[in-house]
Amino acid sequence: MGCCSVTQSHTGIDEVGPDEIELLEIDGTGLWNLGETKPSMRNGTGPPPPPPVRCSSIRHLTQEETKPVETRISCSDIQVHHDIQMVLWGWSKEEVHHKIYTQPIREWEGRAAHTYGDIIYSSLVTLHNTHTKAMGERYLVLFSFHLLILALDHAHHDFIYEGILPLSSLEVDIISQDPSSPYMFEISGPMVDSKIFICASASDRKNWMDNIDDRRYKSLRQQLSPSHSALAYLLPCDETWKREELKRYLLRAPIWQWEGTSIQHMGLPVALSLVHITNSQRQGPQERLLVLFPLDVLILSIDCQRVHLKYEGRLPRKSIQALERSALPGRLEFELTGELMEPLRVSCTYPEDYQTWIFQLQQPDKDIHTISNHSAPPLIPKKRRS
């Protein structure tokens, strides 16, 4: 028997056309068969179709809605739709996303873009530098748990990597103080510099605010398992490639309870090791990730599931010193001492780690510094006969 199917005539998910009611027939296999019904009606060779059975919802609508509804699409609407689709360099948003996933991005760091998952939202924005007051175009890409910032090379139609930020460490706020640029929002966090973005429209800004808030909430609430954490693969860092990947990971990973200057301003990591640290206040050794920067030594703790990093403190290199305690196999220990701090006994797992820390943190004896800093006594000028 026949049944009424209500469909919409449209070309995309955002366009709505007039309703169409088509008579469909079910063939012997139980599938909708429209291709055979229409020819039989045109040619008149088949038996006359049974009268259509109208759905009650359609009858109800036809009784109440007596005024026809017309949808008019003007040329300007088509042009606006075309402009929205062609988001960058004459490319559609889908084409831009495909380029980000598959084509190399200049100065890219870290794992490939496609490993960050689906792109939730993206658009062309303007970055406002609060320090220099400079303005520049950027293409923002929102992944499930990260925000990617790309600069543009219009001449070569290329993207330039500027950073990827974890959503769990970001705060997002609307800026409405400046009436001349009402579509602005700001991202900030303990590990990133504040950035102000200007959107092309109010709807674009709303999309950014809603999507970032939603994904940030999910990233904070999601309990990641070790199989989804990069730390689970990179620890223990017993191979060179793991160390290098872990250095890059630290510069963009969220670190709980961070204090002070953002990690991006500490420079590039020089060395890192998974060690055990003991001091006079603790009963036993505590596992820590020790990271050496040009001016500081960063101390981080890791949860038991190898998922989260937590800030434990930092020590300025100029005020600490590494003293050898034991270089015997199985007991690679040195002591960190310095001004205004309790001595820390550090135990390494690998001999190369021990040698690196001793070499980097051993300071010459202060007495040598004192002697070398004394200036020579002034020479007494010789007397000349007049």
Question: What are the structural domains, with CATH classification, of the chain?
Answer: 3-64 (no CATH), 86-221 (2.30.29.30), 228-369 (2.30.29.30)
Q: Which comes out higher in pLDDT, residue 220 or 358? A: 358
Mean pLDDT of 51-57: 44
Half-sphere exposure of 214 (CA within 13 A, CB side): 11
Instruction: Please name the residue that has the structure tokens 């579509």.
Output: 183
Overall pTM > 0.85: no
Which comes out higher in pLDDT, residue 319 or 86? Answer: 319
Amino acid at 75: C
Supply the mean pLDDT for the chain. 74
Residue 362, pLDDT > 70, answer yes
Question: First CA to last CA across the chain, in angstroms?
Answer: 136
pLDDT, residue 307, reads: 81
Cβ burial 156-170 (10 Å sphere, 16+ → b, else e): eebbebebbbbbbbb
| Number of H-type helices and E-type strands within the chain | 9, 20
pLDDT band at 329 (very low <50, low <70, confident <90, very high): low
Q: Which residue has the higher pLDDT, 18 or 207?
A: 207
pLDDT digits over 199-244, tens only? Answer: 988 899 999 999 998 888 777 665 454 545 677 778 888 888 888 8
Cα–Cα distance measured from residue 247 to residue 358, given in angstroms and rounded to the nearest whole number: 20
- 230 or 371, which is more confident? 230
The confidence band for 197, taking pLDDT boundaries of 50, 70 and 90, is very high
pLDDT of amino acid 81: 40
How far apart are the C-alpha atoms of 292 and 326, rounded to whole Å? 21
Mean pLDDT of 70-83: 41
Q: Is the pLDDT of residue 282 over 60?
A: yes
pLDDT value of residue 262? 83
- Rounded CA-CA distance 172/191 in Å is 14
For the segment 85-132, what is each residue's pLDDT rounded down to a tens digit?
Answer: 678 888 888 999 999 999 999 998 878 888 888 899 999 999 988 777
**Maximum average pLDDT range among 22-36, 100-114, 203-217, 288-302:** 288-302
Q: Is the pLDDT of residue 45 over 70?
A: no
Sequence length of the chain is 386
Write the single-letter amino acid at 281: Q
249 or 83, greater pLDDT: 249
Instruction: State the CB neighbour count (10 A cutoff) for residue 181.
Output: 15
Q: How far apart are CA 135 and CA 149, in angstroms?
A: 15
Residue 330 makes CB contacts below 8 A (sequence gap 6+) with none
The pLDDT value recorded for residue 112 is 85
